[in-house]
């Protein structure tokens, strides 16, 4: 069964809508390269669209009702948005769930050292990466430094045209015989992913315009001291402040159109922000069946979480109770909370685990089973299951749920395809789907196919991104399956 290319179904109006949507998406992933930055962008959009912050609603003892819009943020790294429907919460929610963290390198807590005339910072890579892909690239530094007095310093260095960038050095090919004989996983060791941050020593007599004729050798660690001097002068950061810092090293530069036809997007962090952004836009733009935004039947939810790339652990990952707690608070403000009602609400909910899948790559065709893989340009991809080999670690969606989704997406003429994450014994991967499925709700993975997944620059099709948005919005407006 072959799926047609979505581009062939677009008239000029839809091509224009797709292009405009993807321009906004490129801005989102270019400006939101960390979980904190994405959360800030989400909050800005939510408040611009009339959502109120849950904490403020609780303080004001506000009574929520049909049509109200509320959001909650946890530790500045995860967010959830609710649009209250007309049906009781016990009838379930329609949930879009994506993650906003991406593979990268994190600066260690005691990072700065000097060797061979270079000042460098030690990193610890985050998530599954091919380490050799992150060397000899222009890199940017994003994140926060929180000082002992509670002051937060925001860093974003390497993105503006006039900013310096950083890099991880690589061995020149002329001397790389032994390196080239290593396995790919060993070509670059994790401890070798240190970024170069300086090469000029702190010059004590720099106040003299003419300089000094009596040239002295720089004192020990003069280059790293020069870097610390810059950090203190420009940002007010002391070396010990790195202990309470969260600094991420990411590829520098904005997302770009790819291909002569501009049909694709090349950019960092599309796993999984390519699903997070359409999910956000879907809940902002969703209307009820009467065609207005005053409210609709089921409460709609957009859930954007952290830490998926390392197992959804920690206080901001999907394994935390952040979502469940926020839902309980919203139900309470609606006058519907009790423990049994909360459990029934979750069990009767439907969710699209909005996460990416692997796209067929003809250069590595042996890793894919063509009849059961996603192709760029053929629409939103459904993964009935993920996991590895014998479906280990997988959520496996019910046939009844898939049939319901086929019906509502087919009625809206949305392009979809089915997929597995490569050949059965080649590898695999996971999402947050199995975590939400623990509540007994219907869940299926549905996302945008990605080429170069987890590389510094990933590739996606604009048509797939737009179809994902159309599908997510249709799901929020029309999904009505309820567990028995």
For 471, the token pair is 């599908």
Percent of the chain past pLDDT 70, that is, above it, reads: 95
Judged against a pLDDT cut of 60, whether residue 208 lies above it is answered with no
**In this predicted model, which residue has the larger pLDDT, 258 or 207?**
258
**What pLDDT score was predicted for residue 209?**
57
Ranges of H-type helices in 49-122: 54-59
For 445, the token pair is 């993975």
Judged against a pLDDT cut of 60, whether residue 207 lies above it is answered with no
**In this predicted model, which residue has the larger pLDDT, 476 or 210?**
476
Position 218 confidence tier, pLDDT thresholds 50, 70, 90: low
Q: Where in the chain is the domain with CATH 2.30.250.10?
A: 104-251
Residues 114-130, mean pLDDT to the nearest whole number: 96
What is the per-residue pLDDT across 11-62, written as a single tens digit (0 to 9) for each?
999 999 999 999 999 999 999 999 999 999 999 999 999 999 999 999 999 9
Q: What long-range pairs does 22-25 form, CB within 8 A, spacing at least 24?
A: 22/265, 22/462, 22/465, 22/466, 24/277, 24/281, 25/265, 25/274, 25/277, 25/278, 25/465
What is the per-residue pLDDT across 234-280, written as a single tens digit (0 to 9) for each?
999 999 999 999 999 999 999 999 999 999 999 999 998 999 999 99
Contact between 82 and 70 (Cβ < 8 Å): yes
**What pLDDT score was predicted for residue 76?**
96
Contact between 310 and 127 (Cβ < 8 Å): yes
Tell me how far the alpha carbon of residue 283 is from its chain's centroid: 17
**What pLDDT score was predicted for residue 68?**
95
Judged against a pLDDT cut of 70, whether residue 162 lies above it is answered with yes
Secondary structure percentages of the chain, helix, strand, coil, to 5: 35, 25, 40
Position 286 confidence tier, pLDDT thresholds 50, 70, 90: confident
Terminal alpha carbon distance of the chain: 32
**What pLDDT score was predicted for residue 136?**
96
Q: Is 311 left (phi over 0), alpha (psi -120 to 50) or beta?
A: left
Question: How high is the mean pLDDT of the chain?
Answer: 93
**What pLDDT score was predicted for residue 74?**
97
**What pLDDT score was predicted for residue 215?**
56
Tell me how far the alpha carbon of residue 26 is from its chain's centroid: 13
Gap between the Cα atoms of 387 and 197, Å rounded = 39
Gap between the Cα atoms of 232 and 230, Å rounded = 5
Residues 317-324, mean pLDDT to the nearest whole number: 96
Judged against a pLDDT cut of 70, whether residue 173 lies above it is answered with yes
Judged against a pLDDT cut of 90, whether residue 202 lies above it is answered with no
What is the per-residue pLDDT across 189-198, written as a single tens digit (0 to 9) for each?
999 999 999 9
**What pLDDT score was predicted for residue 80?**
98
Position 206 confidence tier, pLDDT thresholds 50, 70, 90: low
DSSP E strands, 17-117: 52-53, 69-74, 78-83, 93-99, 104-115
Whole-structure pTM over 0.75, yes or no?
A: yes
Judged against a pLDDT cut of 90, whether residue 219 lies above it is answered with no
Percent of the chain past pLDDT 90, that is, above it, reads: 85
- Strands 93-99 and 350-353 come out as parallel
**In this predicted model, which residue has the larger pLDDT, 91 or 394?**
91
Tell whether domain 6-102+268-478 is in CATH 3.40.630.10. yes
Tell whether domain 104-251 is in CATH 2.60.40.10. no
**What pLDDT score was predicted for residue 213?**
53
For the four alpha carbons of 404, 405, 408 and 411, in that order, the dihedral sign comes to: negative
What is the per-residue pLDDT across 440-465, written as a single tens digit (0 to 9) for each?
999 999 999 999 999 999 999 999 99
How many CB atoms within 10 Å of residue 179?
15
**What pLDDT score was predicted for residue 194?**
97
Gap between the Cα atoms of 280 and 283, Å rounded = 6
Which residue from 167, 442, 141 is spatially nearest to 298, judged by alpha carbons?
A: 442
Q: Where in the chain is the domain with CATH 3.40.630.10?
A: 6-102+268-478
**What pLDDT score was predicted for residue 70?**
98
Which residue from 363, 170, 168 is spatially nearest to 251, judged by alpha carbons?
A: 168
The length of the chain is 484
Judged against a pLDDT cut of 90, whether residue 386 lies above it is answered with no
SS3 301: strand
The CA-based dihedral angle spanning residues 104, 107, 108, 113, taken in that order and rounded to the nearest 10 degrees: 130
**What pLDDT score was predicted for residue 181?**
95
**What pLDDT score was predicted for residue 397?**
87
**What pLDDT score was predicted for residue 291?**
55
Angle between helices 12-31 and 35-48 (to 10 degrees): 130
What is the per-residue pLDDT across 353-381, written as a single tens digit (0 to 9) for each?
999 999 999 999 999 999 999 999 999 99
**What pLDDT score was predicted for residue 205?**
59
């Amino acid at each position: 069964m072959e799926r047609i290319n979505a581009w062939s179904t677009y008239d000029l109006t839809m091509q224009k809508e797709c292009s405009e949507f993807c321009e906004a998406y490129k801005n989102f992933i270019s400006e939101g390269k960390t979980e904190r930055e994405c959360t800030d962008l989400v909050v800005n959009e939510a408040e611009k669209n009339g959502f109120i912050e849950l904490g403020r609603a609780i303080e004001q003892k506000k009574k929520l009702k049909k049509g109200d819009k509320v959001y909650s943020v946890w530790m500045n790294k995860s967010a959830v948005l609710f649009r209250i429907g007309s049906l009781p919460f016990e009838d379930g929610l329609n949930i879009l769930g994506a993650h906003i963290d991406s593979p990268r390198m994190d600066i260690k807590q005691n990072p700065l050292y000097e060797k061979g005339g270079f000042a460098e910072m030690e990193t610890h890579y985050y998530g599954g990466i091919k380490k050799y892909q992150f060397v000899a690239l222009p890199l940017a530094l994003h994140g926060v430094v929180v000082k002992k007095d509670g002051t937060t310093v925001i860093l974003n260095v390497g993105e503006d045209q006039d900013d310096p960038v950083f890099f991880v050095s690589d061995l020149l090919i002329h001397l790389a015989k032994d390196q080239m004989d290593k396995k790919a996983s060993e070509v670059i060791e994790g401890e070798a992913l240190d970024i170069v941050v300086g090469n000029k020593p702190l010059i004590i007599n720099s106040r003299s315009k003419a300089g000094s004729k009596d040239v002295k050798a720089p004192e020990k660690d003069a280059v790293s001291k020069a870097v610390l001097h810059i950090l203190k002068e420009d940002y007010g950061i002391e070396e010990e402040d790195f202990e309470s810092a969260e600094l991420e090293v990411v590829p520098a530069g904005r997302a770009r159109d790819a291909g002569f036809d501009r049909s694709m997007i090349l950019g960092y962090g599309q796993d999984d922000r390519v699903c997070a952004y359409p999910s956000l836009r879907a809940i902002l733009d969703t209307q009820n069946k009467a065609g207005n935004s005053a409210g609709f039947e089921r409460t709609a939810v957009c859930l954007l979480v952290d830490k998926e790339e390392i197992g959804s652990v920690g206080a901001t990952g999907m394994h935390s109770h952040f979502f469940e707690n926020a839902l309980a608070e919203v139900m309470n403000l609606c006058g519907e909370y009790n423990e049994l009602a909360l459990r029934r609400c979750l069990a009767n909910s439907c969710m699209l685990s909005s996460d990416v899948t692997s796209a067929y790559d003809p250069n590595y065709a042996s890793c894919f089973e063509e009849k059961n893989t996603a192709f760029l340009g053929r629409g939103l991809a459904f993964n009935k299951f993920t996991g590895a080999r014998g479906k280990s670690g997988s959520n496996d969606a019910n046939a009844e749920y898939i049939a319901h989704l086929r019906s509502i997406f087919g009625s809206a003429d949305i392009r979809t395809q089915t997929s597995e994450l490569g050949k059965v014994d080649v590898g695999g991967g996971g999402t947050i789907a199995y975590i939400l499925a623990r509540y007994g709700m219907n869940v299926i993975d549905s996302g945008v196919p990605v080429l170069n997944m987890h590389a510094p620059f990933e590739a996606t099709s604009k048509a797939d991104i737009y179809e994902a948005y159309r599908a997510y919005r249709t799901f929020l407006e029309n999904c009505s399956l309820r567990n028995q």
